[in-house]
Every structure is written in C-alpha cells, then in structure tokens.
Structure 1
Amino acid sequence: MTEPRPTRRLLTRGSWPETKRLAEVLRRETVGGAVLLVAAAVALIWANSPWSGAYFALRDLELGGDPFGLHLTLTVGAWAADGLLAIFFFVVGLELKREFVAGDLRDPARASLPIAAAVGGMIVPALIFAAVTAHVGDGALRGWAIPTATDIAFAVAVLAVISTHLPSALRIFLLTLAVVDDLLAVLVIAVFYTEQINVIALSSMLVPLALFTLCVQRRIRSWWLLIPLAVCTWVLMHESGVHATVAGVLLGFAVPVKRSEATGGPDAGPGLAEHFEHRIRPISAGIAVPVFAFFAAGVNIGGFSGLGEALTDPIALGIVFGLIVGKPVGIFTTTRVLAGVTRANLDAELRWVDVLGISMLAGIGFTVSLLIGDLAYGLGSDRDDFVKIGVLVGSVCSAALAAVLLRLRNRQYRAIWEEETADSDDDGVPDIYQSRQD
C-alpha cells in the first residue's frame, strides 16, 4: 500500500543560521527605516515652510562635469537618484544572490512563494493604476510601475514598531518578498524606462564589470582597485541610457557567495558577499537611501486644500489604490492560489490573516516608487508632485491599516512566541530549531 505523500507547508521556519542572519538584517533595516522616515519628514516640512525655495534650489543645484564627453552634469536630486541608489541596489544584489545561493531560498520550493507573490504584487497594482488613468491620455500610463514596489527599510521599520512577536517566517517572507520585488523593479526600469541605448557605452561597460568580477572571484578586497572599477561600471551604464542603478545590481551579482555559509559549519567563514554586505549596508541604509528620500519626498502640498485637490488627480488616485488595494490583493491572492495549486497548507503556527497583514504592509512603496515616478514623468514636473503625494498617502495608509491588523495578531502571538523561543539548554540555539534538526 502506497504511503500518502507528506503535506507541503508554506511559510515554514528556515534553518537557525539563516533565521539568525536574517534577524540581524532586519535589525539593520529597522534603523535605516527610522532614518529614512526622519529624512522624508524633514523634506516635507522644509518644502512646505516659508523657506521652501531654498529646498528646491538645493535639489535642483547642478554639480559635476562632462569629462571625455560624458554627461555627468546632474542636479543634486539626480545624483541622489542615479548615484546613491546604486549603492542601495548593490546591497540588494548581494542579498538576493546570497539568498538563492547560500540561503534557505536555494530550495526551489521555498523560493517559488516569494517570487510568485512578488510577481502578483506587481501585476495587480499595475492593472489598477492603468484602469484609473486609462482615460487621461498624454502619457499618463507611463507611471504604471509606480505602485508596484515595496520599500524594504520603510516596511521593516513599521513591522518592528507594531509587532515584535510575529513568527519569524512572516518577517523573513516580507524581507525576501521585498528583495525580489526590488529586483523585478530594476528589470522594469531597465526594460520599460530606457528610451535610447548607447550601444558603445553599454558594450564598454562590460569591460570594468568583467574586471570587477575577476577581482572578486579571486577574493580581492582592495578598495583602491574595486571602487574605481565599480565607478567606471556605473559611469558607462549611466552613459548608455540604461538607468545607472542597474549597475549596482550587476556588481552585487558578481560577488561570490560560499554555499557552506548556510550550514554554519566551523570551516564556513565569512564569504566575500557577507563581507561587502557588512561594510556597505550601513552606508546604504544610513546615508544613501535617506539622502535620496530627502530630495525625492519634498513636495509643496499647499495645505489641506492642496492635498485634497491633488488626491482628485487620476495619477495620484491610481498610485494610492494600487498601493492600498493592489499590493495586498496581488500578494495574498497569489499565495492562496499557489497553496491551492500545490495542495500545500500554511504552516501550523500561522493563519491566513497573518499573510494578509504582511501583504498590506507590502503596500508601503517609497524609495523605488519615487524613483520610477521621476523616470516616468520627470523630476520636478507637475505630475511628479502628484506622484509624490500619491506615494506618501498610499504608503502611510498601507502602514496604518497593516498596523491595526498586525497589532491585533501580535497580542495573540506574544505568549506563544516567548515560549517557543525559550532556550532551556543555554547553548544559544532555541529549542524549537534543535527539535527541527533532530
């Protein structure tokens, strides 16, 4: 008699080494998210103060030069979007590669869920935006990708504040979902927001990228060699017409990852990807993303009347509904469909309402959404102001709705969480992870 196949579980705990590592990542992103919120708040206050002219003059100040015919005279705001965000996407590339090479997501069964959820979380908001703005014309549909992104730092910071006892599987799901989401956003930027390609510059970019790859594959860590190669890759990518942040992801993918790191064995040691991530993530979370947010979030709302008028604009409404409705519907529905198709059950410690709460939290789109808005309609344009208002309102509402639901769930998980994470052996590994390995 054939034994029944074991039931597949969704959103189960990962291995203890990977859970511990991701917990450290979440803590760092939480700090970065707090700095991001402060930077955005300062920008909004300044842009709506009597001294708003100084803010916009600073944002539009041109810096740089055009050596060798390169187009590197950019505004401060453009430098933040094109240059500083490349650092952020370098960390995204490192994190994504590590997850799929040495993390729990090297298992196709585990990787399929966040990938499918991220795709669903992009398609539905895009459709909602298109439906709301279809009658506008005049290039309004160019902004279809604005409500499709999830801000890692912002979402993780909110999660840390509103719920400290949710199962680790949900936190890891949010983090990996957001990382995959960012990768898909980069692909969207490269494919749909590249109007003209300089083939010579794009081909030339492969030379410093190949040299950078050769150096890191040989475990070379010399900053005086790697940084110039990375800068050359960025400059040529910028010159090619493809958004320069794509260079950051490619450079991150080039860094090798030791698969043995995931086992936590005595001979594993820190890999180069982990070394770079440890060095660069604080710069990304503490400087690059907050500075970009400072220059991207500043919009003169014009008081409550101006806010009300802006929210009647189809573009702003498309973004708000895309983030508040589209993201949770896309992510939650895709997860439920995947569970039905694969005949999988949610992990025993979770409920579907928990997944819904995390899906609502993924509606916090900020960094990449603002970047796509700049690319779609132009920095400083009238529509760009509607984009910023739509992103801010949609993100705040998503955070508030998710907070209400997850805070209720957090109360129910508090006692269970404290019991399951108890370490009666005092060996540094929670007993529940030891029981999984026995």
Structure 2
Amino acid sequence: MDRPTEGRPPRSAAGYAQRMAEALRAETIGGVVVLAATAMALVWANSPWGPSYDALRNAVVGPMDLTLYEWSAEGLLAIFFFVAGIEVKEELVHGELTSLKRAALPVIAAFAGMAVPALFYLAVSWGAPGAARGWAIPTATDIAFALAVLAVTASAMPAALRAFLLTLAVVDDLGAITVIALFYSDRVRLLPLLGAAAVLALYWFLQRRRFRHVVVYVVLGVAAWALMHESGVHATVAGVLCGLLTRTDSETDGRPSPAARAAHFTRPLSAGLAVPVFAFLAAGVKLDPASLGSVFTDRIALGVVVGLVVGKFAGVLGGAWLSVRLGFARISDDLRWHDLTAVSVLAGIGFTVSLLIGDRAYPGSDRVSTAVLIASLIAAALAAALLHVRVQARTRHDVL
C-alpha cells in the first residue's frame, strides 16, 4: 500500500485514472497515441506475423455480426464524431464560426475539396478499365488523423485554424458518407432511417426541454446509432448529429452546459480508446513491393494519389480563396493564407473513408489501399513541414 507523503496526495487507481483522463484531454497527447497506434499496426501487418493481425482485424464479435474493424470504424468512431459534433456546435454558437461568413469558409472549402479531387482522379485514370468506379476515393478527409497531425505538429497555432479544419473535415466526411449511401451501397433502408430520424428528433426535443437524465440520452444515442447502421448509412452519422443537437447554453443553476459536460467526459474516452483502437485496426495496410510499384504505374492508383495530394490541396485552398474573393466568406483575423495553405495540404489525409470507398469500388484491391496510405503519408509529411514553418514564423512574430 502506498503511503502518502507530505504535500502529496495518496496514490490510488482513481487518482491515476483522473490524471490519465486529464492528459488525454490535451490534444497533443491524444495525437501522439493515435500516431503510435498507426505505426504499430503498419509494423505488425508487414511483419512475419501479419496473418495474425488480419485474423484479429477480421474477427467477428458481438450481436450484430460485425468484425472488430467494423466495430471500431462504426461503433468506437461514433464516440469521436460525437465529440467532433459538439466542438463544431460550440464553434458555431460561441466560437470562431459565429459569423455566417466565417462559417461559410470551411463549408465552401469542403465542397470544393470534394469536387476537385474527383476531377483530378478522373483526369489521371481516364481510359483505365473500371476507372470511373473510383471517382469518390480521393474526396474524403480523415478527420481523426488530420486533427492528430495538427495537434502534434502545430498545437501553438490559433484556435481558428483548428476550427477551420474541424468544420471542413466534418462537412467533408458527412458528404463522403452521403456519397457512399447514394453510389456505393446496395440500398438504403427507409424504415430504419426514419426510425433514426425520430429518435434524433426526440433527443433534440428533450435537449430543448432541459431534460437532465444522462442515461436517457445514452439510450437514445445508442438507438440512433443502431437504426442508422441498419438503414445502410454509415452509423457515425448518428454520433455527429447527436453532438450537433446537444445544447451548448449553460444551465439555469449555473452549471456547465450539457455539451461541455458531455465533451469533458467523452473526450478522454475518444482520445484514449476510440480513435487509437480504430487507427490500430485500420492502418494495417500491407506494403509489399508489387503494391508499392503499382502506386506509380497503375493509373487508378496514381489517380488516387494525385487526387488526394494535389486535388485536395487545390480544391480546399482554391474553394476558400474563391469564396473570400467573391465575398461569400471571410477569413479569420487570426489566420493568414499561408496557414490555410498548410491545412489544405493536411486535408489530403484520406485514409479511413477513402479506404472504405476504395474497398467498395474495388473489393480486395491492394493497389488502391496502398495508394490511399501512401497519399495520406505524403500529405501528412508535407503538411507537418509547412505547419512547422508557420509555427516558427509566428514564434518570431514574422507573420508572412
């Protein structure tokens, strides 16, 4: 048994858990954990023990016959999207996006950042057999990995930059999930989708009525998630919608808002469990010589790389610049175009949703999975270098 020392509280499991939760609320720590989990997955999948990684990833568990990877991608990641939805709501109501023109900037950039990469992909892959099926692969931004890279490499940047990336990535992912439902699903089942809409409407109504029983909200969130999954729409949509519907104004007795309390509780769970487990089960792409070679010789794979690395940058930055130029949007006073340039490169981390679309467009294709991984790594490395330059410039009070 640990003995308390003078000036130091006694050690306990609860104390350790509390300190760990506080650490995970710091985005830099969470980002490091996610990147470490990604590296571990890549090493294991490409080691002599790679088949055991595949067996773990594809093990079917639970009542809905989902694999561990599917549970992480649709179940655990819904927790992350719930936190992301709350943060976007806070920014819209109280933060950097309260101005309509500032809020329009990442939204317009997100739509341009979906359309332009698809055009780049089609331009490169045009004429290759079956190329048209993969047009949507480079349209997605992986919100979890992009925020992790931003947190690790540029935590000192203004909050407005994170708000821009967060909103852009949420809109982007919702758009990509809609694309999957419309173009890459066998069919969307209407009855469960209407059921999910009804549950979410009840969630919103109870929030408006200031109903305080947390267990009821948890049950409603799980029900919305299950119904969304049964409808054929990616279940993480339920998470982000619950976050957006959570009330952000303080209680009448002075307590923090439901959104603030929910984020305080779920953020460590998201950063310490949901996102790292998902990263570990998603990142194990095999990098064999044949797949690596095809990235630069196969026109479909090359189209994915160009679409994510070049198309995303051109679409996000071009859409943002054009929207400001035409007067539809406004850039935050805390940001410069050099900052948005770096984040536009960061948006090329497609990863999760790109892998999901790629698997549906070309089932079992290692060339597409490898292309998505290589493109995401290139985008992450380039963005990290650019963000480092921006942090150094701001440190020297030399805003370029």
TM-score (norm 2): 0.83
The answer to whether 1:121 aligns with 2:113 is: yes
Deviations 1:272-306 (A, max 9, x none): 1222122222222322222222222212222x454
Name the residue aligned to 1:428.
none
Q: Is the 8 A contact 2:74 2:235 kept in 1?
A: yes
**1:97 aligns with one of 83, 86, 89:** 89
Q: Which amino acid aligns with 2:272?
A: G
Q: Which amino acid aligns with 2:269?
A: I
Q: Which amino acid aligns with 2:376?
A: S
Describe the shift of the 1:149–1:297 C-alpha distance in structure 2 as closer, same or farther (beyond 3 A): same
**1:289 aligns with one of 275, 279, 284:** 275
What's the CA shift for 1:392? 1.7
What's the CA shift for 1:417? 8.0
The answer to whether 1:391 aligns with 2:372 is: yes
What's the CA shift for 1:152? 3.3
What's the CA shift for 1:117? 1.3
Mapped partners of 1:30, 1:83: distance in 2? 24
Describe the shift of the 1:222–1:141 C-alpha distance in structure 2 as closer, same or farther (beyond 3 A): farther
Name the residue aligned to 1:112.
104
Mapped partners of 1:329, 1:99: distance in 2? 26
Describe the shift of the 1:100–1:184 C-alpha distance in structure 2 as closer, same or farther (beyond 3 A): farther
Q: Is the 8 A contact 1:148 1:369 kept in 2?
A: yes
Name the residue aligned to 2:14.
none
**1:177 aligns with one of 168, 173, 178:** 168
Mapped partners of 2:343, 2:43: distance in 1? 30
Mapped partners of 2:68, 2:59: distance in 1? 6
Describe the shift of the 1:35–1:199 C-alpha distance in structure 2 as closer, same or farther (beyond 3 A): same
Name the residue aligned to 1:233.
224
TM-score (norm 1): 0.76
Name the residue aligned to 1:195.
186
What's the CA shift for 1:214? 3.6
Q: Is the 8 A contact 1:63 1:76 kept in 2?
A: yes
Q: Is the 8 A contact 1:120 1:334 kept in 2?
A: yes
Describe the shift of the 1:269–1:406 C-alpha distance in structure 2 as closer, same or farther (beyond 3 A): same
User: Does 235-244 or 408-417 show the bigger shift?
Assistant: 408-417
**2:386 aligns with one of 380, 393, 405:** 405
- Local SS of the residue matching 1:363: coil
What's the CA shift for 1:345? 8.6
Deviations 1:88-112 (A, max 9, x none): 2222322223322333313112111
The answer to whether 1:151 aligns with 2:142 is: yes
Over the aligned positions, Cα root-mean-square deviation in angstroms equals: 3.2
Q: Is the 8 A contact 1:328 1:362 kept in 2?
A: yes
Gaps in structure 2 of 5+ consecutive residues: 1-21
Q: Which amino acid aligns with 1:122?
A: M
Residue correspondence of structure 1 range 323-362 to structure 2 within 5 A: 323-342=308-327, 351-362=336-347
Describe the shift of the 1:223–1:347 C-alpha distance in structure 2 as closer, same or farther (beyond 3 A): closer
Mapped partners of 1:356, 1:154: distance in 2? 18
Mapped partners of 1:217, 1:272: distance in 2? 11
Q: Is the 8 A contact 1:94 1:273 kept in 2?
A: yes
What's the CA shift for 1:26? 11
Q: Which amino acid aligns with 1:367?
A: T
Name the residue aligned to 1:279.
265
Describe the shift of the 1:389–1:175 C-alpha distance in structure 2 as closer, same or farther (beyond 3 A): same
Deviations 1:61-90 (A, max 9, x none): 12234xxxxxx2122222222222222222
Q: Is the 8 A contact 2:137 2:355 kept in 1?
A: yes
Deviations 1:29-58 (A, max 9, x none): 433322221122111111111111111111
Mapped partners of 2:355, 2:397: distance in 1? 39
Mapped partners of 1:235, 1:409: distance in 2? 43
Describe the shift of the 1:39–1:187 C-alpha distance in structure 2 as closer, same or farther (beyond 3 A): same
Describe the shift of the 1:92–1:164 C-alpha distance in structure 2 as closer, same or farther (beyond 3 A): closer
Deviations 1:100-150 (A, max 9, x none): 233331311211111111111111111112223332343x43332322222
Mapped partners of 1:25, 1:173: distance in 2? 24
What's the CA shift for 1:255? 1.7
Alignment length (residue pairs): 378
